[in-house]
Copies of this chain bind each other. A is one copy, B any other.
């Protein structure tokens, strides 16, 4: 496979791929699947592996699907079992099995085992355990094994008994300073945390953040050590979790990626758009309730987007800050009053400021003192309600055991739209004659 690069151009590309596999993968992400396979074929095996491992997961899956068995074996021999399983589990079950059968028996077994865990479980994130020790092993024996392993980084010495039951870890630091004849059972420590292979990734991220764990041992229900989730994968999982909320908030689901298939995007987003449609028609109902007023004073329709927009924005700001506080665990459910009080105050102050600007503009735009008073008052009212709702809705949803990210923004939009229209059109209707607002 490793054709020797002939031209200077090939050499340049080769050097770029070798030196910056991440950037190379990023460039390749923009190419067609066939082109990517072509490029991978023209690199040394070690280089194509590095680049392949960094491709966008969706694209890497397409590449696997399309490449011939020879290239597959080249790239997948010695692949991280964890990465291999992640990618293969995105293929059809039969295809994945056929591909896995091409690999060495050990690797194939590891990959199959990992693939048996659900996509969002700790088991799916772990690297299968390869280096473990027995409690009767001495420090000297450990050091001998470490010498054989060479530069492969080991962070902790994991100790299991004959049945594979996880007993604890011996820190490398402890190993280094102990006498050669000391047995591992005498320097064993309980790990900072362990996790069951079937636990959701959410729990993994929680452990990482709360206990500041660097490597997390994964066990089964019988306390058998199955593998370890390494720091890099922990960090990546944490970042994915943190950024998922953003998508979930707008009803784009948690699985979709920027380059996912159109069908996945439609499937994930359409239900939410339909739920939103209900909300929108509820807002329409409110507006429809005041159709007579609008028929008399058409200019009200012109300023509807202003009131709805500002209260929507105020609500979103409060929601974003509160959601982040919940995500970073800086606030608890019990603190809802403190957060709500703050947001009411912020809504009031911002509302007064924005209402003043708006009233002045509307006064000159529509030459109506009455209308500028109505829009000013309704702005303050709806922005206070929006601030309060933005703070309280995610906290309530969380206390009900709901995911605040998925449902907050839809509930919030309903509330801000309805109260925005209601306060503006309601006030206009009530005060139309008093303030002499005429269309």
Task: Name the residue on B nearest A395 (C-beta).
Answer: B258
- A327 beta carbon closer than 8 Å to chain B: yes
The residues in A between 164 and 194 inclusive whose CB is less than 8 angstroms from any CB of B are 171-173, 175-177
Instruction: Report the bound CA distance from A312 to B265 in whole Å.
Output: 17
Chain A positions near chain B (C-beta within 8 angstroms): 22, 26-27, 29-30, 56, 143, 146-147, 153-154, 171-173, 175-177, 208-210, 212, 214, 231-232, 234-236, 238-240, 242-247, 249-252, 256-260, 262, 265-266, 269-270, 272-274, 276-277, 279-281, 283-284, 287-288, 291, 294-295, 298-306, 308-310, 313-314, 316-317, 319-332, 334-335, 338-339, 342, 345-346, 349-350, 353-354, 357-358, 361, 413, 417, 421, 439
- How far apart are A315's CB and chain B's nearest CB, in angstroms? 9
Instruction: Report the bound CA distance from A272 to B316 in whole Å.
Output: 12
Task: Name the residue on B nearest A332 (C-beta).
Answer: B26
Q: Are A171 and B143 in contact (CB under 8 A)?
A: no
Task: Name the residue on B nearest A351 (C-beta).
Answer: B273
Q: Are A302 and B291 in contact (CB under 8 A)?
A: yes
Task: Name the residue on B nearest A322 (C-beta).
Answer: B258
Q: Are A280 and B310 in contact (CB under 8 A)?
A: yes
Q: Are B214 and A146 in contact (CB under 8 A)?
A: no
Q: List 16 A-B contacts (CB under 8 A).
A: A22-B210, A26-B329, A27-B334, A209-B239, A212-B231, A238-B238, A243-B327, A258-B322, A265-B321, A269-B314, A272-B313, A273-B353, A277-B306, A277-B309, A281-B306, A291-B302
- Beyond A173-B153, A243-B328, A328-B240, whether A284 also contacts B306 by CB under 8 A is yes
- How far apart are A65's CB and chain B's nearest CB, in angstroms? 18
Closest 7 CB pairs of A and B: A258-B325, A212-B232, A301-B301, A280-B309, A242-B242, A176-B176, A280-B306
Task: Name the residue on B nearest A292 (C-beta).
Answer: B298
- Beyond A259-B335, A305-B308, A309-B279, whether A212 also contacts B235 by CB under 8 A is yes
CB-CB under 8 A from A287, the residues of chain B are 301-302, 304-305
